Amino acid sequence: MKKVRILTFLSIILFIAVSTANGQQKKQPPQYRQEPAPVSVHEISQHVYEVRGGAGANCAFIVGDKEVYAVDAKMDDQSARDMISAIKATTGKPIRNLLITHSDGDHVNGIPGFPAETNIISHDNSAGHIRKANESGEIKIPPPNMTFSHQLNLYSGDLEINLFYFGPAHTDGDVVIFVPNDRVAIMGDLFFKGMDPLIHEHKNGSSEGLINVLQRIVDLNAEKYLSGHAEPATKAEIESLRRTVVEKRDRVMAMVKDGKSLDDVKKAFGIPLEQSRWPSLVERIYGEMTQEE
């Protein structure tokens, strides 16, 4: 079991590391590519299924009255096509909508694998990040054709799907998808199990915003919470993560008030002093607080 957890953790790091700053990724040389696990479908509730395996983050799909709503698109078009095949093997209903939780490459690079007529829905800011990345990215991603700013409610027969934007957290375009009929929430990269969440400065993420967003997610009172890089979580696990982020933010705040340097803070938290590709949560908190001064 310990080995399985270590491999899972390393897989998460791999997914994050190969996503570029603006959301799209460059193709990796063959010698650095690793074969992902096969795509598999896992029933979560009456209408909600999680898609694991393939290249990229966990995805999901919601089966409505007459159509399917896919959630996120994997890291490449082949994995997206594998995901579509898995969905078709589960239900005969057509995939008409693709809901995007945020703009990171391991969630959106597979969009070209979806049929051109698919309706792509995201937050306004995520659409902007995708368009910006397309200006220089090797992989061109079809941008969302439908966006919203605060809340969007979709209906399929008696099934209701709520898309919420609670503010900047991991990025400034994180969408939480809630299926009230099933009490299931899908939250992208707002939750990691066994590691701190990432805050993308270049996408206007915010640690204080993350604390607020996690509380709003808790307030949904879902029975199951799905995320991009972990097994389904409980409400108690989301609450625990929020407390951890609050505790770290309070501790860093006290050290900043005492005039401690970033190296002092990193040493106190046991974080290596050398620069990492993705700054830790503690580093982002320190950066936000020193910029506010």
The model's confidence at residue 275, banded by pLDDT at 50, 70 and 90, is confident
Tell me: the pLDDT tens digits for 1-43?
433 343 444 444 444 444 444 455 444 444 345 578 899 999 9
Q: Is the pLDDT of residue 82 over 80?
A: yes
Predicted pLDDT at 7: 40
The pLDDT of 210-233, averaged and rounded, is 97
Q: How far apart are the first and last CA of the chain?
A: 46
75 pLDDT more than 90: yes
What is the predicted pLDDT for the residue at 138? 83
Distances, alpha carbon 195 to alpha carbons 8, 12, 229, 238, 287, in Å: 12, 10, 10, 13, 20
DSSP secondary structure code for residue 278 in this structure = S
Give the integer Cα–Cα distance in Å for 28 and 139. 12
Q: Given the DSSP bridges, would you call strands 224-227 and 184-186 parallel, antiparallel or unpaired?
A: parallel
Domains of the chain: 2-292 (3.60.15.10)
Q: Find the length of the chain.
A: 293
Taking only the tens place, the pLDDT of each residue in 121-162 is 999 999 999 999 999 888 789 999 999 999 999 999 999 999
Structure pTM? 0.88
What value does the mean pLDDT take over residues 251-279? 91
